[in-house]
């Protein structure tokens, strides 16, 4: 698979200009003309007419509809933004999670071409039967129903042959637009880095081999769980652009037949789904990050099947262990411990805002202080952490942000099935296991081995770090950075004093120079024996002197 290249030759910039104008026109049509007016970007919009400078009501809905109109790549970009509640306001996130890929299918001859190129076989030789009409179509590929030799039912996901090129062009455009806005917006994060993160994310989705590995890992994780079924992989029929998996028969959760099920059956289904994702989050540390209804199949009797493994969130063993400590410290009202856990989970902040972080922790987690770990709603606690990140404009590793998006989507799915579901009870099955895991003697050797490896790595690097410091000292390349706080008033006074000294010196120089010219120059017009050529310098000196005296008197510091 060819990765997306972020190159910007001049000809590509010129080619993108018209597309940027089109995007600008769509944005104006959806009520965002004020943005271009405020940030002096009117040159992107031909025949500009003044518009309201107020933010449109229901901005989240307007942004979602705008991205939907702009096309598949922008829909994907909106889906990425929905995983970044640390930089996107909650009302916009709630709308962006509703974005779904839904594009027209490509011609069946292209499907045949991709299969021939990647598998070295025609469709007729590779498959016993192959439906020309796709089951679903998205921006990157489409899914067809087929049968392998022997009659095994499968689904075949085939990537659009021009997907990488088209998405690459749109990402170049997004990057160019981000560079244009980078110095104009004060938003607390880099737009260019956000686009580059999107490029990395969608590059992973373009690689079906990676998705096949994800599916294999889910299959191993749920091998002992009869309530969750992962479709089998057929690696002989897989490549970077083709993914062939067992077809799981049954309605997906967006099928109207699901809501027609009896209430008690929907309750069991909602509990199965919740338990499946809590097990992924709190036990496996490997989470299906796109649990929307079309990716969950109902198999009857409370059993489910999972589809589409392109988006995952991976939590390290350290994350699960530190997350458990965070829960326990919240229960014990241990504010310093909570701050240590948040830092070890990757959240960073400047010492200057430490007091604000402490206050925010107390405000956010006070409802859990003193309660039992079994009564903690993991879903709500995760939202509280993300809201804390957003309120303080902090940054959090992307694996946690994708996890929050998955939980947010899952919450909507299970609440639709059974609004009165008791997530406390379901989560309690796994939080208890996590708590025991901290003191489980069987895990002590593994933990000690990990700690020993980390300390060995640190100590092995110390001699090299000392050597580098000594070399810099010897070469005179050591730099000391000084960050001051609370000295702004003193610096301002020093600036005022320095400016007044400069004005006084300029006034004296002009006066002395003007007097010297008036006394020493004999030619030209004279007044009272003094040359008129020296008068301008004397007048300028007088003006500066009077202005300086007036400023001193006005400041009250004469």
3-class SS letters over 331-363: HCCCHHHHHHHHHHCCCECCHHHHHHHHHHHHH
Give the residue carrying structure tokens 């010129």: 14
Residue 236 has pLDDT above 50, yes or no: yes
Residue 230's φ and ψ, nearest 5 degrees, are -110, 130
Q: Give the lowest-confidence range in 134-138, 457-461, 551-555.
A: 457-461
Over 60: is that where the pLDDT of 318 sits? yes
pLDDT class of 436 with cuts at 50, 70, 90: low
pLDDT of the residue at 383: 66
Query: What pLDDT score does 218 carry?
Result: 95
pLDDT of residue 41: 52
Q: What is the mean pLDDT of residues 295-308?
A: 92
Written as six digits, the tokens of 189 are 């994060």
pLDDT digits (tens, 9 = 90+) for 447-468: 566 556 655 766 666 676 676 6
- Residue 65 in tokens: 């509809």
Q: Is the dihedral angle over the CA atoms 362, 367, 372, 375 positive or is it negative?
A: negative
pLDDT at 183: 63
In the structure encoding, which two tokens stand for residue 432, read together? 């208890």
User: Would you place residue 188 in the very low, low, confident or very high pLDDT band (cuts 50, 70, 90)?
Assistant: low
As a whole number of angstroms, the distance between CA 208 and CA 210 comes to: 5
Least confident window among 135-149, 403-417, 482-496, 503-517 = 482-496
Q: How far apart are CA 89 and CA 66, in angstroms?
A: 17
pLDDT at 6: 47
pLDDT-above-70 percentage for the chain:
67
Mean pLDDT of the chain: 76
pLDDT of 287 strictly over 80:
yes
The pLDDT, as a whole number, for residue 368 is 65
Q: Write the DSSP assignment of 60-84 as a string of letters.
A: HHHHHHHHHHH-HHHHHHHHHHTT-
Q: What is the pLDDT of residue 376?
A: 58
Which pLDDT score, from 0 to 100, does residue 52 have?
46
Say yes or no to pLDDT of 222 above 60.
Answer: yes
What does the pLDDT read at residue 358? 84
Nearest to 552 by CA among 507, 519, 514: 507
> Which has more pLDDT, 382 or 78?
78
Least-confidence region, from 33-42, 95-104, 216-225: 33-42
Strand partners, 298: 304
Lowest mean pLDDT among 101-105, 374-378, 505-509: 374-378
Q: What are phi and psi of 156, to 5 degrees?
A: -120, 120
Residue bearing the bigger pLDDT, 86 or 198 = 198
Angle at 68 between CA 201 and CA 412, to 5 degrees: 75
Task: Name the more confident of 466 and 145.
Answer: 145
CA distance 114 to 112: 6
Checking if the pLDDT of 186 tops 70, the result is no
CB atoms within 10 A of CB 556: 6
Burial 369-379 (b: 16+ CB within 10 A, else e): eeeebeebbbb
pLDDT reported for residue 2: 47
Rg of the Cα atoms in the chain = 33
With a pLDDT cut of 90, the percent of the chain lying above it is 21
pLDDT higher than 60, residue 345? yes
User: Higher pLDDT residue, 258 or 543?
Assistant: 258
Residue 167 CA: distances (Å) to CA of 13, 175, 396: 16, 12, 27
pLDDT of residue 242: 95
Query: At a CB cut-off of 8 Å and minimum separation 6, what does 92 contact?
Result: 59, 60, 63, 81
The answer to whether residue 290 is catalytic is yes
State whether residue 395 is helix, strand or coil: strand
| pLDDT on residue 83 | 66
pLDDT of 17 higher than 50:
yes
On the question of pLDDT at 255 being above 50, the answer is yes
Give DSSP secondary structure letters for 153-204: EEEEEEE-TTHHHHHHHHHHHHHHHHHHHTTT---SS-HHHHHHHHHHHHHH
pLDDT range class, residue 1, cuts 50, 70, 90 = very low
pLDDT band at 221 (very low <50, low <70, confident <90, very high): very high
- Rounded to whole angstroms, the Cα distance separating 106 from 95 reads 28
Q: Which of 86, 290, 319, 404 is catalytic?
A: 290
| Residue 406 · residue 290 · CB < 8 Å | yes
The β-bridge partners of 136 are 143
Report which of 51, 140, 144, 156 is spatially closest to residue 102, judged by C-alpha positions.
Answer: 140
Segments making up each domain of the chain, as ranges: 10-100+183-204, 252-439, 448-478, 489-555
> What is the model's pLDDT at position 232?
95
41-53 pLDDT tens trace: 544 444 444 444 4
* 376 within 8 A of 431, measured Cβ to Cβ: yes
């Amino acid at each position: 698979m060819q990765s997306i290249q972020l190159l910007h030759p001049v000809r590509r910039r010129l080619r993108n200009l018209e597309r940027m104008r089109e995007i600008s026109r769509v944005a104006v049509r959806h009520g965002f003309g004020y943005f271009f007016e405020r940030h002096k970007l009117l040159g992107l919009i031909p025949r500009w007419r003044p518009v309201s400078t107020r933010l449109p009501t229901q901005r989240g809905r307007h942004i979602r509809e705008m991205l939907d109109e702009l096309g598949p790549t922008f829909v994907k970009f909106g889906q990425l933004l929905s995983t970044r509640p640390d930089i996107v306001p909650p009302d916009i996130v709630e709308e962006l999670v509703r974005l779904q890929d839904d594009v027209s299918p490509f011609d069946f001859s292209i499907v045949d071409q991709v299969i021939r190129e990647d598998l070295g076989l025609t469709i007729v030789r590779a498959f016993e039967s192959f439906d020309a009409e796709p089951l679903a179509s998205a921006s990157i590929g489409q899914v067809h129903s087929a049968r392998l030799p022997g009659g095994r039912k499968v689904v075949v996901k085939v990537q659009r042959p021009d997907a990488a090129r088209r998405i690459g062009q749109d990402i170049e455009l997004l990057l160019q637009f981000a560079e244009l806005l980078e110095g104009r917006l004060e938003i607390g994060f880099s737009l260019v880095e956000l686009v580059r993160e999107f490029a990395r994310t969608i590059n992973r989705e373009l690689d079906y081999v990676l998705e096949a590995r994800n599916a294999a890992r889910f299959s191993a994780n749920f091998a002992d769980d009869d309530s969750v079924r992962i479709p089998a992989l057929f690696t002989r029929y897989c490549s970077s652009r083709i993914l062939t998996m067992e077809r799981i028969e049954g309605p997906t959760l967006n099928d109207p037949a699901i809501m027609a099920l009896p209430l008690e059956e929907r309750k069991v289904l909602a509990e199965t789904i919740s338990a499946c994702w809590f097990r992924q989050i709190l036990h496996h540390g490997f989470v299906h990050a796109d649990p929307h209804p079309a990716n969950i199949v109902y198999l009857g009797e409370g059993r489910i099947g999972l589809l589409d493994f392109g988006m995952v969130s991976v939590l390290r063993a350290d994350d699960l262990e530190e997350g458990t400590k965070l829960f326990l410290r919240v229960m014990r009202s241990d504010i310093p411990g909570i701050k240590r856990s948040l830092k070890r989970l990757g959240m960073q902040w400047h010492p200057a805002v430490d007091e604000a972080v402490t206050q925010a922790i107390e405000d956010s987690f006070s409802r859990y202080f003193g309660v039992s770990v079994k009564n903690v709603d993991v879903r709500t606690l995760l939202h509280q952490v993300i809201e804390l990140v957003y309120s303080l404009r902090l940054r959090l590793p992307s694996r946690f942000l994708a996890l929050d998006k998955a939980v947010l989507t899952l919450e909507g799915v299970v609440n639709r099935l059974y609004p009165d579901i008791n997530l406390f009870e379901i989560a309690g099955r796994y939080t208890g296991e996590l708590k025991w895991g901290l003191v489980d003697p069987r895990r002590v050797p593994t933990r000690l081995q990990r700690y020993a490896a980390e300390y060995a790595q640190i100590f092995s690097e110390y001699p090299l770090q000392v050597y580098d410091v000594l070399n810099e000292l010897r070469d005179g390349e050591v730099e000391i950075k000084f960050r001051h706080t609370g000295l702004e008033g003193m610096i301002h006074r020093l600036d005022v004093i320095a400016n007044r000294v400069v004005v006084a010196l300029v006034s004296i120089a002009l006066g002395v120079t003007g007097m010297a010219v008036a006394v020493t120059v004999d030619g030209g017009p004279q007044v009272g024996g003094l040359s008129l050529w020296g008068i301008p310098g004397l007048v300028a000196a007088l003006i500066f002197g009077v202005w300086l005296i007036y400023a001193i008197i006005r400041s009250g510091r004469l």
